[in-house]
């Protein structure tokens, strides 16, 4: 049986000692754990982005994986430290909605017991990593926390329809400057293939099939690998070129209306 797998997702960045300390605690408490990073570059203080990234990355992992996620602007406050057990996974992190995509009402939720000696600013090291390590060692969640319920759900921003136009927003940027929106493929099916996408001062006609279908340096729109509408620039940086970022508005409308 391969050693237990623990994924790490944080907004700590790669500087400083934070991620190193997390890893140290995990290996100290569960020496045969295998650690794997999802990312430590979640936008600072953004449970929304964490939730989106987790929704895309975690389902790829094998059943039994423990997903530790610490994007925790409320650390030291009243938000509960949780273990959430779903059919396939255990999630460990703050109760601020980052695990929303995995909540379907069948999950079991536990509030991690703390002893009051934790640093009020670094529950990743002092609360969440120890809980994840104990799960990886095979301890049942009941040994680590009290059963509870009602994990916080994030209110994910949904695109809204105005007549024949759908209005959404940019969820996140990737390294290439691609602008990933909250408009899912399903949301624009009603428009058919003849559509315009507007963002900032740019208007793009139709959807490309992939990033290189167009002129180098020109913007295009496509359905990305998460199933969401994206704006990209062929071999360029859409965010920089369009001068837009997170939460920018996107409008999708039928060709005739554009």
Nearer to a second copy, 49 or 187 (CB): 49
Beta carbon nearer to a second copy, 11 or 253: 11
User: How far is the C-alpha of 174 from the C-alpha of 118, rounded, in Å?
Assistant: 34
Which positions touch a second copy (CB under 8 A)? 2, 5, 7, 9, 11-21, 23-25, 27-28, 31-32, 35-41, 44-45, 52-53, 56-62, 65, 73-77, 119-122, 125-126, 172-176, 180, 209-213, 222, 224-226, 235, 237
Residues 237, 76: Cα–Cα separation, whole Å: 38
Measured from the CB of residue 161, what is the shortest distance to a second copy in angstroms? 26
Residue whose CB is less far from a second copy, 110 or 122:
122
Residue 165 or 230 with smaller CB distance to a second copy: 230
Contact indicator for 19, 10 with CB cutoff of 8 Å: yes
Q: What's the min distance (Å) between Cβ of 68 and a second copy? A: 13
Q: Please list the alpha-helical segments (H only) found in the chain.
A: 18-29, 47-57, 123, 129-136, 141-144, 238-242
Q: d(Cα 237, Cα 251) in Å, to the nearest integer?
A: 20
Taking the least distance from each CB to a second copy, the nearer of 7 and 253 is: 7
- Alpha-carbon distance of 58 to 60, in angstroms, equals 5
Minimum separation from the CB atom of position 22 to a second copy (A):
8
Classify the phi-psi angles of 192: left when phi > 0, otherwise alpha if psi is within -120 to 50, otherwise beta: left
CB 132 to a second copy: min, Å: 14
d(CA 38, CA 116): 29
- Minimum distance of a second copy from residue 233's CB (angstroms): 11
């Amino acid at each position: 049986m391969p050693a237990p797998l623990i994924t790490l997702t944080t907004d700590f960045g790669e500087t400083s000692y934070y991620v190193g300390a997390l890893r140290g605690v995990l290996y100290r408490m569960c020496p045969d754990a295998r650690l794997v990073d999802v990312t430590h570059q979640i936008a600072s203080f953004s449970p929304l982005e964490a939730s989106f990234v987790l929704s895309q990355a975690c389902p790829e992992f094998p059943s039994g994986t423990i997903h530790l996620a610490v994007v925790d602007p409320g650390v030291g406050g009243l938000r509960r430290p949780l273990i959430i057990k779903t059919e396939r996974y255990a999630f460990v992190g703050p109760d601020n909605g980052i695990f929303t995509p995995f909540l379907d009402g069948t999950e079991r939720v536990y509030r991690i017991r703390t002893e009051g000696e934790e640093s009020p600013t670094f529950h990743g090291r002092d609360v969440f990593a120890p809980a994840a390590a104990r799960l990886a060692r095979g301890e049942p969640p009941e040994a680590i926390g009290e059963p509870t319920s009602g994990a916080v759900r994030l209110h994910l921003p949904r695109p809204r329809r105005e007549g024949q136009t759908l209005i959404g927003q940019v969820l996140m940027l990737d390294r290439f400057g691609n602008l990933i929106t909250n408009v899912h493929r399903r949301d624009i099916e009603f428009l058919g293939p003849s559509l315009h996408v507007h963002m900032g001062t740019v208007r793009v006609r139709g959807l490309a099939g992939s990033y290189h279908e167009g002129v180098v340096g020109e913007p295009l729109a496509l359905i990305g690998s998460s199933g969401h509408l994206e704006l990209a620039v062929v071999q360029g940086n859409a965010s920089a070129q369009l001068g837009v970022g997170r939460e920018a508005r996107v409008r999708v409308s039928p060709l005739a209306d554009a």
